[in-house]
Structure 1
Amino acid sequence: MLIEWTKVCVLPGFSPLPLYTVATFFFREVGKEALVNKASSLAYNFMLAIFPGIIFLFTLIPYIPKRIGFQEGLMSLLALVLPNNAFDALETTIDNIVNIQNGSLLSIGFFLSMFFATNGVHNLMIAFNKSSLIVETRSLLKRRLVALILTMVLVLSMIVCIAAMTLGVIAINYLKKEMNYDGNLTIYVIQFTQWALLGILYFINVSILYRYGPAHAKKWKFFSAGSWLATILAFLTIWGFSFYINNFSAYNKLYGSIGTLMVVMIWLYLNSLILLIGFELNASVDLSKRSVKIIRPRFNLFKSNK
């Protein structure tokens, strides 16, 4: 009964594909060797960018007045989001970076992070073209410019998200410590708002990547099925992966501090795979719609000839 229902249930944004087709498509794509190899390549490029990027963002923080409590709120946020082993390994380093001003580290981190992040986005654009069988017509300079713009959009969104999430943590700490507020409703509302904002920003960024990354002559709709699927899978990955690392994994015991790098690498790999799966879904939806447009006129012509 449930399987039959999924074959006729069409979720918003997934038309014309029913839920059963989307689920079947997802499990089939995960097993594709080509997709897995692309995700591994992307994870490597983003891995190179993430550490100088973090250094750049965190070296901005010491210039924020400490009386605001931003540094303390950020550390609380990282403790909430990161797996316990990863946070324990990085806590001392991050604490030094966010409390000590370093201008040279700021500039070096900016240029390195932008270079490697742009490479990652550029490779993602190439993967999109290969997935949808699109011939790249843009010049190398134009592709690099598009990759740079997309990278800047992602960085700005990340800054907004980190600021909003940190302010939420500061507000919760203020309610608990300064006002002795022990009610749960307001705290739940703040936490829900934090995650909702994260979901909205992730969805918008993925939609921008899918729309402007590939060399499409005709752009896809901004609110696409692939964007919805990627956002849902990303949140399931965050919660599921954090739960697994915190409760069942022994990376830190087996590998020591290098286990943190392995955790980050796996997380980047999973997110790269999610981006590619979402794009593949968009390409499949587009192909199915084009097939209907081609078959329908031929069917009508066949009927008229009869």
Structure 2
Amino acid sequence: MSKKKIDTSAFKRFFTEHPVVIGVKKYAKENSFIGFHGVPLYDVVVFVINEATRDDLFTRANSVAFSIFLSLFPSILTLFTLVPFALDFLTIWFPALENFNMTLYEEIKRVMPGQAGDIVFGFVQEITNSPKVGLLSFGFLLAIFFSSNGMLSLMQAFEKSYVKVFRQRGFLRKRMVAVGLTFLVGIFIIASVVLVILGDSIIGWIDYYTSMGGFTRFLINAVRWTTMLALYYIIIGTLYRYGAATIKRFSYVSPGVTLATILSLATSVAFSFYIDGFNRYDTYTKFYGSIATIIIVMLWLQLNALILIIGFELNAAIAVHRDLTQVDEEE
């Protein structure tokens, strides 16, 4: 008995002949958004869809997420081995930094779902509370190497074959950039925690002398969320600007960075609410046992890796059409 084929002609006609679809396509071909450098919205969307289909967006995201997961703890070991020495020095001038660990825990819990944040923070706390001078040796160099593997995988996901827009990096240069970006991201994270602590201290000092009451809590939350948003934006902008091997560097303020920042922050908050608010961690624990936390972290990393690649593809679409148009005009 032969299988009956499904007739998709009506479905295709709807997306090619429907007046609403035709109107949307016409608008997209004739209009551009702020930051698109005059590139029509239609060209950008078609480019992103074609690149996502050709390069298999989900496979790239899975690869990046797995590499970042393997390099997560070496990265923490590398970055936070030096933190205790810096805190001992800075606490002399800023006593409020004694609350560094507690503030770091709160910020980690804001973005990492379920017990994943507790496990990551436990590892960080062990390092920061007990400075390990012995790690500043050959083992420390190995930790630096392995911690940069996740960043290296992300940089490879940013590679394109458009020679007018993208260039190739050698192995050594690529590794050096990956190490530099890993340290830079870590510095941004630590700096954001320090800024939150100092911001809370300043607001507390103002409250002590002015008794702002409920307005103080609003300011504290505003400072924290503004810092979190700025942190996301700066980190993602740095990854796109220096991680992608482009002839003309991507701007810090770009549609791709804006889209990825909003989606990443919203996804992290929503995912944390889903895991914590609906007690999904207990459900996963019943099915997966002790590896439930690993699964949750992997899902969270995969979502964020996918968002980073989507934001990059948006920037790449704009850059390719912009630069190729300039080349055609010059010729």
The TM-score with structure 2 as length reference comes to 0.70
In structure 1, C-alpha distance between the alignment counterparts of 2:251 and 2:168, rounded to whole Å: 21
For residue 59 of structure 2, the aligned residue among 16, 24, 37 is 37
Deviation digits for residues 198-257 of structure 1, max 9, x if unmatched?
Answer: 322332332233233333333344422211111111111111111111123232343233
What's the offset of the Cα at 1:261? 1.5
Q: Which moved more, 1:154-163 or 1:16-25?
A: 16-25
Are residue 84 (structure 1) and residue 114 (structure 2) matched?
yes
Separation in structure 2 between the aligned mates of residue 50 and residue 74 of structure 1, nearest angstrom: 16
In structure 1, what is the Cα distance between the partners aligned to 2:247 and 2:110? 43
Partner of 2:219: 189
- Structure-1 separation of matches of 2:74 and 2:181: 18
**Corresponding residue for residue 149 of structure 1:** 180
TM-score (norm 1): 0.74
Q: Which amino acid aligns with 2:312?
A: F
Percent identity for Structure 1 against Structure 2: 37
Q: Which residue in the other structure is 2:189 paired with?
A: 158
Q: Which amino acid aligns with 1:149?
A: G
Alignment of 1:252 with 2:274, yes or no, is no
Structure 2 CA distance for aligned equivalents of residues 32 and 240 of structure 1 = 30
Which stretch of structure 1 is more off in the superposition, 144-153 or 73-82? 73-82
AA partner of residue 59 (structure 2): N
Task: Give the secondary structure class of the aligned counterpart of 1:244.
Answer: helix
Residue 288 of structure 1 pairs with residue 321 of structure 2: yes
- Structure 1 counterpart of 2:310, from 277, 282, 300: 277
Alpha-carbon distance, 1:187 to partner: 2.2
CA deviation after TM superposition for structure 1 residue 280, in Å: 0.9
Q: 1: distance between equivalents of 2:36 and 2:223?
A: 26
**How do 1:150-229 residues align onto structure 2 when only pairs under 5 Å count?**
150-167=181-198, 183-229=213-259
Report what 1:55 is aligned to. 77
- Corresponding residue number in structure 1 for 2:6: none
The reply on whether 1:241 has 2:263 as its aligned counterpart is no
Asked whether the 8 Å contact 1:207–1:227 carries over to 2, the reply is yes
| Number of corresponding residues | 294
Q: CA deviation at 1:156?
A: 1.8
Distance (Å, rounded) in 1 between the aligned partners of 2:220 and 2:262: 21
Letter in 2 for 1:232: I
The Cα offsets for residues 27-67 of structure 1, whole Å up to 9 and x where unpaired, read as 88777772111111111221122112223444455554697
Q: Which has the larger radius of gyration?
A: 2
Give the whole-Å Cα distance in 2 for the aligned partners of 1:156 and 1:282: 25
Which consecutive unaligned segments of at least 5 residues does structure 2 have? 1-19
Q: Which amino acid aligns with 2:290?
A: S
Distance 1:58 1:258, change over 3 A: farther
Offset at 1:281? 0.9
57 and 125 in structure 1: CA distance in 2 versus 1, 3 angstrom threshold:
closer
Q: Choose 81-90 or 219-228, whichever is displaced more.
A: 81-90
* 1:65-84 paired onto structure 2 within 5 Å: 68-84=98-114
The 8 Å contact of residues 53 and 112 in structure 1, kept in 2 or not, is answered as: no
Higher deviation after alignment, 101-110 or 40-49: 101-110
Partners of 2:202 and 2:139 in 1: CA distance? 30
Paired with 1:87 and 1:221, the residues of 2 have a C-alpha distance of 32
Distance in 2 (CA, whole Å) between partners of 1:212 and 1:142 is: 12
Aligned pairs for 1:74-153 within 5 A = 74-89=104-119, 95-105=125-135, 110-130=140-160, 136-153=167-184
For the Cα contact (< 8 Å) 2:37–2:322, is it kept in 1? no
Structure 1 stretches of 4+ with a deviation exceeding 6 A read 18-33, 169-172, 294-298
Task: Compute the displacement of 1:93 (Å).
Answer: 5.2
Matched, 1:266 2:299: yes
Counterpart contact for 1:234–1:274, Cα < 8 Å: yes
Distance 1:293 1:81, change over 3 A: closer
